Amino acid sequence: MRVKGKETMTAESANLSMWINGLVLSGLGAGAVLSVRERLKKKQWRSAGAKTTLPSPLSQAVARLVGTAGGIYLSLELLFSFLGLRHETWQAYMPLAIDPMAAFSLVIAIIQPYGVKVWEFARRSVAARSSARSVVKASRVRSNTKSKKRRL
């Protein structure tokens, strides 16, 4: 009976592992599609005034995504080798049969355009606040100098 229970447990865990693999891969695929879409929008915005057109913006966006992920992967590989860390320890936590550092690099590359969007929004809001404060300060200085002139 125990043997059958163990066999059933391994079959159930294999089924669960297969579901997790499918979910992770579909999540990565959906993220990649959304990231490529965002990169296409950014590329069209950048090249709106350009006189020459690119043959395929989609291929440019995919190439950028893969290039960014590759750069992140190489940087992580150099960091791990410099620090003397073994990335085989990640294998125990990854249900997929892919290199965990490559998957992590791809996830970071997918998130990157949205991080840039958030960064630009934060920069614009800080700049707007600082310009509003400088306008308020300037108006206070003007009103103070007018009141001093009236007193004299």
Which residues, at least 6 apart from 70, have a Cβ–Cβ distance to it below 8 Å? 105
Whether residue 42 lies inside any domain: the answer is yes
Looking at the structure of the chain, the number of domains it has is 1
pTM to 2 decimal places:
0.50
In a domain, 126, yes or no: no
- 93 found inside a domain: yes
Is there a domain that residue 137 lies in? no
Provide the residue range defining the domain that includes 42: 2-112
Stretch among 13-27, 85-99, 114-128 having the lowest mean pLDDT: 85-99
87 lies in a domain? yes
Does 121 fall in a domain? no
Instruction: Determine, yes or no, domain membership for 144.
Output: no
Give the tens place of pLDDT for each residue, 54-100: 567 788 888 888 999 999 999 998 988 888 887 666 666 666 677 77
Domain contains 86: yes
Of residues 92 and 106, more confidently modeled: 106
Amino acid at 50: A
- Are 80 and 87 in contact, with CB atoms under 8 Å apart? yes
